[in-house]
Structure 1
Amino acid sequence: MSPFYRLKTNMERSNVDNRLQYKPDIVEFYLSERDLENPLLIRERIRELKEKNIKVYLHHPPQYKGRYLDILSSDSEAKRFYMASCEILAAICEEEGTRCVVHAHYAGTESSSDVSLASIRKMRREIAAVLEFSRELFVWEDTIEGLFCHANPYLLEELIVPLELPLTVDVSHTFIGHRGNNEKLIETLGATENYARYFHLVDSKGKFHDSLPLGTGLIDWKAVKPFVEGKDYIFEIQLEGNHSDCTPMIESARFFSEI
């Protein structure tokens, strides 16, 4: 089976060109806070790839003023940026016919430490407010700890199911959240199957956020693959330097195709 090259890039021209040489069928643009200052360029990049029959996903900026975002942040300025940026990206996605990956929070933020029923219900209300911009165009990604981690026993029944929330399942994040337990990873993939719209495929040793090429970590990819086939995904491997060489993603695509 020929590999599907499904790749991640930032907005830099050299990095985009590096990915395009492999004729990918999906590309995800990992946006920064600064990128939102030029929404026209985001639109131009989307249109350029769509003209080449490449499906595009966007990724909501992870940081504001150097700090990782959290939808429950007590920093009012960061919270305003979170909501305003979601509104901008919802409009772009609606008009350009694409989707956007968004995190409710990242590791190390306020929502990483308070895993309570009251907090998950508060997060549900905040996510519902974002869904007013768009219900289907955002796909919500899990993190490795805290409220929006699949190890949180409240996440599925108190947030995902009531909101019928479209998900990005990051396989390595889920694996790390379950402390490197493949059985629990596969359980989660089964439990979220009706909500998963998109996947990030990346390997891990299961202890911390290591972002390894497929086949170099401990994830059981043979067990994972049936949940992923037929759905959209990218190979989200950590790259060195200026991220201009996506070879580890290409090698991961080849590994996955041979399973």
Structure 2
Amino acid sequence: MFPYLGLKASTNQRQIDERLQYHPQVFEFFTIEADVTSDGLDHLKNMIDYVQNSGVAHVVIHHPMKFEGVHNEVSVDPNTNPKQYQFMMTSSKNLIQIAKQFGIQLLIHGGYNQPVSKIIQQFGSIQAGRKIVFERLDYFKSFGESNVMFENSISPLFDFGDSTVEQAVVEHQYRLCYDTSHGFIVLHGNNQKLQESMRRLQGQVVHYHFVDSMGQFHDSLQLGKGAIDWRPLKQVVNRRATNIFEINLKDQFNSLEMQASYDYLKNLWK
């Protein structure tokens, strides 16, 4: 029942087993560069099978965040960064195929946190950069269909809360992951605007990252520890979506902060 106990872990089986002992309804794999090598993909498939056989109904793969220490941006230029572009495209397609094979979801970030100065240096303008992002996402949407979704970023290339981006997202009919902390940061900690943004995109959101924040930078706080007003969000979420609690953990082998966030939201939204 929404909100779900949704937990996240790497492909490390010790982390996975720590999460599974609490019987989550949603499990999200946080992958890294090593997980999309030939051996890594085989291990990932074994772990997906392991999680599904444990009784978890909803499984998500989070696309690798970095390649060779640099954010794995959808907007990467194939001419100046051919290796990174090849990694982004090949890993995305391979993970989409796995998502289709297992009947699960792949999450791809529309962007990360590129500063405006770097975007303008690379593309000439934010609008030109966004055009590249939407062209790539259109490709992944066509290839992945109902097994792929796109997450909002802090970067202006794909930031929910920006009316231009949201209008384009609606027009392209993307399946979305809405990260509450990213939206809150983009909107400079404005709760009313966060509620409005989530309401506008409600029908297209299929997955949530519930995360608290002070609204200034990427802090990934436990729910109730930041400045997000969670009570009104009950009216603007898509209750047919899934969710996880994407919280920074003190210990990657103890999901305490994720579970506390679930308890907080469940009790608040009774």
What is the CA deviation profile of residues 203-240 of structure 1, one whole-angstrom value per residue up to 9, with x for unaligned ones?
00101101000011111111112315342000000112
Is the Cα contact below 8 Å between 1:172 and 1:204 reproduced in 2? yes
Aligned: 1:188 with 2:201: no
The answer to whether the Cα contact below 8 Å between 1:141 and 1:167 also exists between their aligned partners in 2 is yes
Match of 1:12 in 2: 12
Q: Which residue of 2 aligns with 1:244?
A: 253
Structure 1 unaligned runs (5+)? none
TM-score (norm 2): 0.89
Cross-structure match for 1:98: 104
Match of 2:222 among 213, 224, 239: 213
Q: Which residue of 2 aligns with 1:26?
A: 26
Q: TM-score, normalised by structure 1?
A: 0.93
Give the alignment's Cα RMSD to 1 decimal.
1.9
Is structure 2 residue 87 aligned with structure 1 residue 81?
yes
Distance 1:125 1:240 in 2: 38
Q: CA deviation at 1:6?
A: 1.0
Q: What corresponds to 2:140 in structure 1? A: 130
Matched residue, 2:46: 44
Identity %: 28
Counterpart in the other structure of 1:57:
60
Runs (4+) off by over 4 Å? 109-112
Structure 2: give runs of 5+ residues left out of the alignment: none
Q: Provide the C-alpha distance between the structure 2 equivalents of 1:2 and 1:78, rounded to a whole number of angstroms.
A: 37
- 2:200 maps to a residue whose letter is A
Contact 2:202 2:238 in 1 (8 A): no
- Is 1:145 aligned to residue 148 of structure 2? no
1:176 to 175, 178, 185: 185
Letter in 2 for 1:65: E
Is 1:67 the counterpart of 2:67? The answer is no
Provide the rounded CA distance (Å) in 2 between the counterparts of 1:230 and 1:112. Answer: 38
